[in-house]
Structures are given as structure tokens and as C-alpha cells.
Amino acid sequence: MRGWLTGAAVFAAAFLLWNVLAASIPVLLLLFTAVLLAAALQPIVKRLSTRVSYGAAVGVTFGVAIVAIAALEFALLQPAAGELAKLLAAIPSYASALQNELASAQRYIESDQTARQLASALASSVSGAASAVGLALLGGPKLVATAIGDGLLIVLLAIGWMLAAADVERFVLSLIPPKPRTNWHAAFADIGVRLGAYVQGVVINGAVVGVAMTASLAILGIPYALLLGFVAAIFQAIPMIGGVISGPIILLVALATSGWEKTLIVLVIFTIVQILDGNVLTPIIFGQRVQLSFLLIIFSTVVGGTLLGISGAFLAVPAAAALQVIVVRIVAPAIRSTH
């Protein structure tokens, strides 16, 4: 009887813990994002702390960062938001234009039954898809308010983490036996360096891709060039598969607004940018600086996206980098020492 009661208690505790963790996932994601932000700004804080107190260095660093973000919003996000508003207002006409373009393509491929059926299906679904997107984006003000609130919370959590990280690390290290304590201290330092390098690399990567796409679309005369470049930059933060998400968005807008010829040119440019990014920028950022293999990047991104959606895909790679440090510096040596 006691065994059954113990088993029931363990099951109930596990079920309760699972529900608590599931409900806490959004908060934990915000906290992890704040840790990433703190890791990215930590080198600046360390340099400033040699001249002023650590708290003052944190305040100055985050103050400058907030001003820089506000300036960026004024310079880029406001025009992009204006383009988004125009795009939303023009969705019905663009949906009709897409149907006409697809119907035109269908006439050129009448001889191929499979291609004809595909074009017909695309043409019939464009209107419904555009309407669905329009309805989803009607909640734009709510989404913006939520994003602003989450952003402020992330900044506050990042400041709190940066001020308390040293005390937290000392407390955690005090719970570890003296012999492996040095390895854990080195692991924490390595994790901080890799997370900071990841955030800095993502910003550089997104900026390069965003500027390249914005400039290319503007030269071609594609409407909403700044907005589409911003979309490309944002989704570039998802390694390897970000272009798969942003590419169709850019191509559909180009097709609806500028026709097939310019859309094909955009496709070529986008493909070239992604190839250069995947073979030049990404290996430097994720291979050399974050020290992650291609397989681990893909695996972690897929797992994160499957479990937690877009936010999980964004944060999967830095989480994998931190886990890799712990495995390499702590787990593997402990296993080897048992032989």
C-alpha cells in the first residue's frame, strides 16, 4: 500500500512540475533572451568598469543601448511600419494581382498537366491565404504593444542578470565540490563568451543580409524594399532555415507588385545572398566564433522550432552552444575519469 501511495505522490509531483514548467516557458524564453543581451553587452561593461563603478558601467551601457535602439527605430522601424500599413491596406488588390499572375503562368504551361494543376491550386488559394494573413495582422497594435512590453521586460531582466550574475555564479560554485569547481568556473566563462559572440554575429549577419536585400529591391524598384529587407534581416537570425521563411514572403510581394520578370531577378539575387551568407558569413559566425558544427546547428534549430515554434528556433543555437560547453568541459571529463 505504501508503495502505491509513494508512486502516486511521485506521479502527482512530476505532473505538477511539468505543468509549472510548461506555464513558465514564455517567461524562461524572455529570461534566456535577457541573458543573451547581457552576454553581448558584457565586454563593453567590463571595459567601462575599469574607469567607473560596475553599477555605473551597467547603467551607462544600457542607457546608450536604449538610445541607439530608439534612434534605429526612428530611422528604420517607423518607415518600415509605414510600408507595412500600406501593404496591409493593399492586400486585396495584391491578392487579385497574384491570381492574375498565376493564371497567366498557367496559360503558358497548359501542356503540362501537373504544372497546370499546381498553378491552378496556387491561384485559387492566394486570395484565401492573403485574407488569412490580413486578419492575423489586424491585431498589429496588440502585437506591437506586446513586443514593446516584452522588450522592456527583457531589458530589465538583462540589467538584473548583469548586476546579479557574479553573486549567482559564486553561490552555484559554492555548491560544487572543490575539485571540479575550477572546470565549472571555466565553463561559465566560456558560455558567456560564446553567447556574446553569437548575439554579435547574428546582428552582423542580419544587418549584412538586410542591407543587401533592401538595396537590391530598391534598385529594382520593388515596393516595400525597406520592409522586405527588414523581414530578411530578422529571419536571418534563425540559422540555415531563416531564408526559407523570408524568401517566399519577399517573392510573393515582388510578384504581386512587380510581375514575373522582376520576381525572377529577385529570386536570383536572394539565392546569391543566401549562398554567400551560408558559405562565408555563417561559418565564421557559428563555426569559428560560437564553435558549433553544421549538424548541431541544424539539429538544435529543428528541435527548438518543433518544441517552441519560432521563438524556440531563434534561441535553439545559443542554448546548444551553452549545452555543448557543459558537455565538453564537465560531462565528458567526468565520464573519462571513471575509466
pLDDT digits (tens, 9 = 90+) for 105-126: 555 555 555 555 545 554 454 4
| Confidence (pTM) | 0.73
- Determine the distance from the C-alpha atom of residue 289 to the mean position of all C-alpha atoms in its chain, rounded to a whole number: 18
Mean pLDDT of 50-64: 87
Per-residue pLDDT tens digits for 170-203: 888 888 888 888 888 888 888 888 888 888 888 8
Q: Mean pLDDT over residues 279-287, rounded?
A: 72
103 pLDDT band, cuts 50/70/90, is low
What letter represents residue 214's amino acid? T
Q: Which amino acid is at 125?
A: S
* 307 vs 20, residue with greater confidence: 307
- pLDDT average, residue stretch 80-108: 65
Q: What percent of the chain has pLDDT over 70?
A: 71
Give Cβ neighbours of residue 25 (< 8 Å, ≥ 6 apart): 308
- pLDDT of 219 reads 92
Distance from C-alpha of 154 to C-alpha of 123, rounded to nearest angstrom: 42
How far CA 150 is from CA of 33, 143, 146, in Å, comes to 10, 10, 6
CA dihedral of 307, 308, 312, 313, whole degrees rounded to 10: 60
Task: For the chain, give every domain's residue range.
Answer: 25-175, 180-334
Which candidate, 230, 237, 200, 209, places its Cα nearest to that of 315? 237
Lowest mean pLDDT among 1-15, 191-205, 265-279, 290-304: 1-15
